[in-house]
Amino acid sequence: MAIVLGLAPVTAVLSLLFIGPLLVALAQSLGHAPIYGVEEFPTLRYYARVFGSSRFRIALLYTLYYAVVPTIVSTVAGVALALALRHPIRGSRVLIAVLRLPVVVPYLVGAAVVVALFANGGLIARVLFALGAIGSTGDFPRVLFSAGGWGVMLVYLFKQIRFTFIVVSAALAGDGAQYEEVARSLGATPVRALWHVVLPRVVPAIVTASLLVFAFNFQTYEIPYLLGATFPNTLPVEAMRRFNAADLSRRPEAMAYLMVITAISGVVLAAYLQVYRRWERGRRRS
Amino acid sequence: MGAREATIVIGTGSRGRGFDSTSRGVRVALWIVFAVFSFPFVPLVVASFAFRWHWPSVVPTEWLWTARDASTVPVGWAYLFSRVSQLGPAFANTAFIGVAVAFLAVALALPAARVIARYEFRGKSFFEFASLMPVIVPQISIGIGTLLLFLRLGLVRTHVGVILAHLVPTLPYALRIMTAVFQNLDHGYEEVAQTLGAGRVQRFVRVVLPLVLPGVATAGLFAFLISSNVFLLTFLVSGGRIPTLPTMLFSHIESGAPLDATTAGLVVIVSLPGIAFLLLTDRLTGQRLSLASLGSPVQPAVGGRA
Amino acid sequence: MSSIEIDRVSKAYDGPLVVDSLSLSVPSGTVFGLLGPSGCGKTTTLRMIAGLLRPDSGDIRFDGVSVLAVPPERRAIGMVFQQHLLFPHMNVEQNVSFGLRMQGVRPAASRSRVDEALDLVRLGGMQRRYPAQLSGGQQQRVALARAVVTNPGVLLLDEPLSNLDTRLREQMRALIRSVQRRLGITTIVVTHDQGEAMELSDQMAVMFDGSIAQVGRPVELYARPDSARIARFLGATNLIPARVVDTTAADLLRIDTPFGSLDVCPGNSAPTTGTPRVVASIRCEHVAIVDRHMDGPTDSGVSVRDGARNIFAGVIDDVVVGAGRITYTIDVRGTRITAVEVSDAERTRGSTVQVRLPCDRVRLLPFDPGLAGA
Maximum CA extent, chain C? 76
* C85 contacts B197? CB cut-off 8 A: no
Question: Using an 8 Å Cβ cutoff, are A51 and A134 in contact?
Answer: no
CA distance B281 to A62: 38
A137 found inside a domain: yes
CA distance C34 to B257: 81
A249 found inside a domain: yes
Residue A42 near chain B (CB below 8 Å): no
CA distance C161 to C170: 9
C59 SS3 class: strand
Per CB-CB distance under 8 Å, the chain C contacts of B198 are: 73, 98, 102
**What is the predicted pLDDT for the residue at B51?**
83
A240 or A96: which leads in pLDDT: A240
Q: Say how many domains are in chain A.
A: 1
Question: Using an 8 Å Cβ cutoff, are A262 and B141 in contact?
Answer: yes
Which residues on neighbouring strands pair with residue C312, listed in sequence order? C355
Q: Which pLDDT band, with edges at 50, 70 and 90, does B285 fall under?
A: low
CA distance C310 to C109: 67
Look up residue C346 and give its DSSP letter. Answer: P
Q: Which of C154, C132, C108, C31 is nearest to B196 (CA)?
A: C154
Which are the contacts of A237, defined by CB distance < 8 A and separation ≥ 6? A59, A221, A224, A225, A228
pTM: predicted TM-score of the whole model, two decimal places: 0.79
CA distance C197 to C274: 32
Q: pLDDT of B53-100, one tens digit each? A: 888 888 888 888 887 666 667 778 888 888 888 899 999 999 999 999
Q: pLDDT of A165-174, one tens digit each? A: 988 988 887 6
A70 found inside a domain: yes
A20 found inside a domain: no
pLDDT (mean) for B43-51: 86
**DSSP structure string for B80-109:** HTSSSSSHHHHHHHHHHHHHHHHHHHHHHH
B56 or C19: which leads in pLDDT: C19
* B291 contacts A169? CB cut-off 8 A: yes
CA distance A247 to A153: 32
A147 found inside a domain: yes
Question: Using an 8 Å Cβ cutoff, are C272 and C225 in contact?
Answer: no
Which are the contacts of C163, defined by CB distance < 8 A and separation ≥ 6? C82, C83, C84, C136, C140
**What is the predicted pLDDT for the residue at B77?**
85
CA distance C135 to C118: 15
Q: pLDDT of C229-264, one tens digit each? A: 999 999 999 999 998 887 666 677 888 889 888 888
Q: pLDDT of C109-125, one tens digit each? A: 899 999 999 999 999 99
A6 found inside a domain: no
Best interface-test mutation with B: which of C14, C49, C81, C157 has the largest number of B CBs within 10 A?
A: C81
A229 found inside a domain: yes
Question: Using an 8 Å Cβ cutoff, are B108 and A10 in contact?
Answer: yes
In this structure, of A101-110, B7-16, C189-198, C225-234, the range with the lowest mean pLDDT score is B7-16
* C73 contacts B194? CB cut-off 8 A: yes
C85/chain B closest Cα distance in angstroms: 6
pLDDT at position C300 over 50: no
Q: pLDDT of B123-160, one tens digit each? A: 898 898 888 899 889 999 999 999 999 999 999 999 99
Query: Between chain B and chain A, are at least 3 CB pairs below 8 A?
Result: yes
C353 SS3 class: strand
pLDDT (mean) for C144-164: 91
Q: Which pLDDT band, with edges at 50, 70 and 90, does C19 fall under?
A: very high
CB atoms within 10 A of CB C158: 20
Per CB-CB distance under 8 Å, the chain B contacts of C103 are: 197
Per-residue burial over A160-189, b if 16 or more Cβ lie within 10 Å, else e, is bbbbbbbbbbbbbeeeebebbbebbbeebe
- Look over chain A and give the mean of its residue pLDDT values, rounded to a whole number: 88
A9/chain B closest Cα distance in angstroms: 6
Q: pLDDT of A106-165, one tens digit each? A: 999 999 999 999 998 888 889 888 888 888 888 888 888 888 889 999 999 999 998 999
Closest Cβ opposite residue A126 in set B57, B266, B306: B57
Phi, psi of B257 (to 5 degrees): -85, 160
Q: Report the Cα C247 to chain-centroid distance in Å.
A: 33
**What is the predicted pLDDT for the residue at C372?**
44
B209 or A284: which leads in pLDDT: B209
Q: What is the CATH classification number for the domain harbouring A234?
A: 1.10.3720.10
Q: Which domain holds residue A252?
A: 37-285
Q: At what angle do helices A251-285 and A20-29 cross, to 10 degrees?
A: 120
CA distance C124 to C21: 44
Question: Using an 8 Å Cβ cutoff, are B306 and A277 in contact?
Answer: yes
Q: pLDDT of A239-273, one tens digit each? A: 999 999 888 888 899 999 999 999 999 999 999 98
Nearest Cα residue in chain A from B105 = A10
Per CB-CB distance under 8 Å, the chain C contacts of B210 are: 87, 89
Closest Cβ opposite residue C102 in set B191, B196, B210: B196
CA distance B167 to A20: 14
User: At CA C151, angle to CA C148 and CA C152, rounded to 5?
Assistant: 85
What spatial distance separates the first Cα and last Cα of chain B, rounded to whole Å? 45
Q: Which of B274, B272, B252, B255 is nearest to B263 (CA)?
A: B252
* B186 contacts C83? CB cut-off 8 A: yes
A96 found inside a domain: yes
B22/chain C closest Cα distance in angstroms: 35
Q: Which of C75, C15, C32, C5 is nearest to C210 (CA)?
A: C15
Phi, psi of C194 (to 5 degrees): -70, -30
CA distance C131 to C140: 10
